[in-house]
Amino acid sequence: MKIVITGPESTGKTSIVNFLSTELNTIKIDEYARTYLEKTKGKYQYEDLLIIAKHQIEQEEKCSATKLNILDTDLITIKIWSEYKYGKCDPWIITQINERQYDYYLLCYPDINWEYDPLRENPNDLKSLFVLYENELINQGKQYSIITGTGQSRYNKCINILNNI
């Protein structure tokens, strides 16, 4: 089973991934974009998004078919960001989104404080970005739940949802 944690930046995705993978003793797949951007000191162009997407897929391919896998994002995030920032998305990314299957999405709502990180670039439009994420999940016919709240309450919601899917 593959569960994707998604949503705008600074909405607690990585914290949820780390919590769930520890709490459920399962595999986590990190967001490759962070690894890439750490190497480039946060600088990237449109063409880099395809490179990031291909490496994200490589990481996902390491998932175990017999265990729960928690993914810190998927290609939908790259598509949304590409369209938001550049007004377009590479067709390969769109094809991969349509071909790849995930079991469930936890969509993080931006109701926690935005935290500065040199790799983050959009502290002001988190709610409008959230709408883009939700619309994309709806348009793709994905099953999802919205995660709200803070701290342990947020984590408990994730566990409750996963226990009921």
Question: pLDDT digit string (tens) for 81-109?
Answer: 999 999 999 999 999 999 999 999 999 99
Question: pLDDT digit string (tens) for 147-164?
Answer: 999 999 999 999 999 999
| Confidence (pLDDT) at 116 | 73
Residue 128 contacts by C-beta under 8 Å, 6 or more apart in sequence?
A: none
Pairing of strands 27-29, 69-72: parallel
| Confidence (pLDDT) at 122 | 77
| Confidence (pLDDT) at 118 | 67
| Confidence (pLDDT) at 41 | 92
The CATH topology of domain 2-163 is Rossmann fold (3.40.50)
Torsion of CA 11, 116, 121, 47, to 10 degrees: -90
Residue with tokens 């999802």: 144
Q: Give the closest residue to 126 by CA, choosing from 47, 50, 12, 37.
A: 12
> Residue ranges per domain, the chain?
2-163
| Confidence (pLDDT) at 66 | 67
Torsion of CA 101, 161, 145, 63, to 10 degrees: -30
In this predicted structure, the answer to whether residue 5 has a pLDDT above a threshold of 90 is yes
| Confidence (pLDDT) at 114 | 80
* Least confident segment among 23-27, 75-79, 129-133: 23-27
Question: pLDDT digit string (tens) for 50-86?
Answer: 999 999 999 998 777 768 999 999 999 999 999 999 9
